[in-house]
């Protein structure tokens, strides 16, 4: 065996090893669940209290923002005039699937992507699941991301649960920007998105819109594709850079960890997944900052999640499942009070 020789790891190899390590942790954690006191169990009385402990949020439980605010934030950004000295609008929207709000306590102060983004703008408590008692929808992947992309709840999107096709009349910011001539990329590894946005994909093909729906095998491939999308420099052995005006990427790592052994900070495997995706996202921010044209560009960075989780699932209306969050590099307007969400 050779010694003293440095091994050059590719980005994909690093991510693959990272995911494998987490998989081992998941398996080990599974044996301990019986003694864990109920990993991720719903705690109606104290969950919001624990979420607000870091005091890092710009709003409170009384002024929660709906997750639909992401759509309007993106639209407003591209509709606003360029600041003086800037020549191009660019945006990166990152999704951490199934990332509970209290999971932020495991990464705040580490200098990762959420830290960098929120310090430039703000960190906000948001909510999924629709309007409680009115337009409720399941806290599942398809309804959550559809509401984020369209700014609408299930009564207009037609998506109240997984396995449903989105109404194309509920336009996503992807389609809207593409119709205005912007280059757009949607990168994901959950196959269900191909069905949910099947109508949008067909519409993009008919209209020859500059939007790419890129289905990958895993988060490692998604990361590589996202790096190409936000960078003008092609990586080693990679395709030519795409340099999209807006890139929307979803990591599945945290949701997989939650489903495997439980959502919540009591679960070391879930905590590790929370930290890892934030590190991966920080790599995208670094790639953006290294662009030769960065100083002339006006960038919007948003990081959010589609839903939380309880025990090893989600879909219900508990605070653990409904409370979500949004990190933005630009301050958002807060309207008080919000009584449509939580206890």
Please spell the DSSP secondary structure of 117-131, one letter per residue.
HHHHSEEEEEE-SBS
Asked whether residue 18 carries a pLDDT value surpassing 90, the answer given is no
CATH of the domain at 204: 3.40.720.10
Asked whether residue 323 carries a pLDDT value surpassing 50, the answer given is yes
Tokens describing residue 123 = 């960190």
Confidence at residue 46, expressed as pLDDT on a 0 to 100 scale: 84
Going by pLDDT thresholds of 50, 70 and 90, the confidence category of residue 107 is: very high
- What is the mean pLDDT of the segment spanning 169-198? 98
CA distance 320 to 43: 8
- What is the mean pLDDT of the segment spanning 181-185? 97
Give the global pTM.
0.86
Contact 147, 137 (CB under 8 A): yes
Confidence at residue 341, expressed as pLDDT on a 0 to 100 scale: 61
- What is the mean pLDDT of the segment spanning 97-112? 96
CA-closest candidate to residue 143, choices 155, 132, 133: 155
* Domain assignment of residue 283, yes or no: yes
Task: Give the lowest-confidence range in 179-183, 269-273, 297-301, 331-335.
Answer: 331-335
Going by pLDDT thresholds of 50, 70 and 90, the confidence category of residue 274 is: very high
CA distance 33 to 193: 31
Confidence at residue 43, expressed as pLDDT on a 0 to 100 scale: 64
Say which DSSP state 298 is in.
E
- Give percent above pLDDT 90 in the chain: 74
Q: How far is CA 341 from the centre of its chain?
A: 20
CA distance 234 to 253: 25
Mean pLDDT of the chain: 87
Going by pLDDT thresholds of 50, 70 and 90, the confidence category of residue 133 is: confident
Range of 305's domain?
63-328
Going by pLDDT thresholds of 50, 70 and 90, the confidence category of residue 36 is: very low
Confidence at residue 88, expressed as pLDDT on a 0 to 100 scale: 97
- What is the mean pLDDT of the segment spanning 294-311? 98
Confidence at residue 335, expressed as pLDDT on a 0 to 100 scale: 65
**Report for 11-15, 45-49, 60-64, 76-80: range of highest mean pLDDT:** 76-80
Q: pLDDT for 63-84, tens place per residue? A: 999 999 999 999 999 999 999 9
* Domain assignment of residue 182, yes or no: yes
Confidence at residue 233, expressed as pLDDT on a 0 to 100 scale: 61
Asked whether residue 9 carries a pLDDT value surpassing 60, the answer given is no
Asked whether residue 60 carries a pLDDT value surpassing 80, the answer given is yes
CA distance 143 to 152: 10
Q: Which carries the bigger pLDDT value, residue 337 or residue 296?
A: 296
Confidence at residue 135, expressed as pLDDT on a 0 to 100 scale: 78
- What is the mean pLDDT of the segment spanning 95-102? 98
Q: How far is CA 251 from the centre of its chain?
A: 7
CA-closest candidate to residue 242, choices 211, 272, 220: 211
Q: Which carries the bigger pLDDT value, residue 265 or residue 337?
A: 265
* Domain assignment of residue 343, yes or no: no
Confidence at residue 304, expressed as pLDDT on a 0 to 100 scale: 99
* Domain assignment of residue 318, yes or no: yes
- What is the mean pLDDT of the segment spanning 125-149? 95
* Domain assignment of residue 48, yes or no: no
Going by pLDDT thresholds of 50, 70 and 90, the confidence category of residue 132 is: confident
Got the DSSP string for 27-76? HHHHHHGGGTTSTT---TTTHHHHHTTT---SS-GGGPEETTHHHHHHHH
* Domain assignment of residue 320, yes or no: yes
Q: In what helix (H) or strand (E) does residue 193 lie, and over which residues does it extend?
A: helix 192-196
Task: Give the lowest-confidence range in 10-14, 57-61, 92-96, 188-192.
Answer: 10-14
* Domain assignment of residue 244, yes or no: yes
* Domain assignment of residue 55, yes or no: no
Asked whether residue 33 carries a pLDDT value surpassing 70, the answer given is no
Our count of domains for the chain comes to: 1
CA distance 256 to 283: 21
Confidence at residue 287, expressed as pLDDT on a 0 to 100 scale: 96
Confidence at residue 215, expressed as pLDDT on a 0 to 100 scale: 97
Confidence at residue 45, expressed as pLDDT on a 0 to 100 scale: 58
The residue count for the chain = 343
CA distance 57 to 28: 34
CB within 8 Å of 307: residues ≥ 6 apart: 98, 128, 129, 139, 140, 141, 144, 314, 321, 322, 324
CA distance 284 to 95: 13
């Amino acid at each position: 065996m050779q010694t003293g020789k440095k091994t050059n790891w590719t980005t994909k190899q690093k991510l693959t090893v990272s995911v494998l390590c987490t998989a081992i942790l998941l398996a080990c954690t599974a044996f301990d669940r019986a003694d864990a006191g109920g990993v991720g169990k719903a705690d109606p009385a104290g969950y919001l209290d624990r979420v607000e402990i870091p005091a890092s949020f710009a709003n409170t439980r009384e002024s929660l923002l709906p997750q639909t605010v992401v759509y309007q934030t993106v639209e407003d950004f591209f509709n606003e005039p360029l600041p003086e000295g800037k020549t191009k609008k660019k945006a990166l929207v990152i999704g951490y699937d199934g990332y509970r709000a209290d999971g932020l306590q495991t990464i705040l102060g580490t200098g990762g992507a959420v830290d960098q983004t929120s310090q430039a703008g703000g960190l906000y408590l948001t909510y999924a699941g629709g309007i409680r008692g009115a337009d409720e929808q399941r806290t599942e992947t398809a309804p959550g991301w559809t509401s984020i992309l369209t700014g609408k709840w299930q009564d207009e999107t037609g998506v109240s649960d997984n396995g449903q096709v989105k109404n194309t009349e509920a336009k996503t910011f992807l389609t809207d920007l593409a119709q205005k001539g912007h280059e757009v990329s949607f990168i994901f590894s959950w196959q269900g998105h191909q069905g949910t946005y099947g109508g949008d994909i067909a519409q993009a093909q008919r209209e020859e819109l500059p939007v790419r729906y890129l289905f990958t095998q895993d988060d490692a491939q998604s990361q590589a594709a996202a790096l190409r999308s936000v960078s003008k420099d092609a990586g080693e052995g990679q395709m030519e850079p795409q340099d999209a005006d807006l890139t929307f990427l979803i990591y599945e790592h945290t949701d997989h960890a939650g489903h495997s052994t439980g959502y919540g900070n009591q679960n070391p495997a879930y905590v590790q997944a929370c930290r890892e995706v934030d590190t991966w996202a920080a790599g995208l921010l670094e790639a953006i900052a290294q662009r030769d044209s960065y100083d002339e560009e006006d960038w919007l960075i948003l990081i959010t999640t589609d839903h939380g989780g309880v025990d090893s699932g989600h879909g219900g209306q508990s605070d653990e499942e409904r409370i979500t969050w949004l990190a933005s590099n630009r301050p958002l307007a807060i309207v008080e009070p919000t009584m449509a969400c939580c206890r």
